[in-house]
A = this chain, B = another copy of it.
Amino acid sequence: MNKYGLHGKLTASAGNRDALASILQEASKLVASAPGCQVYLVSTDVSDENSVWVTEVWDSQADHDDSLKDQRVRELISKAMPLLAGSPEEGQTLTVLGGAGIK
């Protein structure tokens, strides 16, 4: 069955990329046990020193949306917001057809 995917870039203000990545990795630990979470990756971009990419696969969009209601996740989002540069968003919403590394 198809899954819900998100691949999105967050751009940190100068000097804050690693702090942002660290917060997102904390978030990944929280959502790892959330219902429907299959993948939540935190990556840097070899060609852009200020950005962090988050790649998510969920069983459904509802599972993803529910994860954002978790108070601990919301606290991490609040911590991350001041580190962002406010650049336009970039990325894709995906319909994950299948592949390796998901159930």
A residues touching B (Cβ–Cβ < 8 Å)? 5, 7, 21, 25, 28-29, 31-32, 37-47, 53, 55, 57, 92-102
Residue of B nearest to A31 (CB): B100
What B residues does A28 contact at CB under 8 A? 98-100
A101 touches which of B21, B44, B92, B101 (Cβ 8 Å): B101
- In the complex, which residues of chain B have a beta carbon less than 8 angstroms from the beta carbon of A98? 25, 28, 41-42
The main secondary structure of chain A at its interface with chain B is strand
For residue A94, which residues in chain B have a CB less than 8 angstroms away from its CB?
43-46, 53
Q: How near does chain B come to A44, taking the closest CB pair, in angstroms?
A: 5
Alpha-carbon separation in the docked complex, A7 to B41 (Å): 12
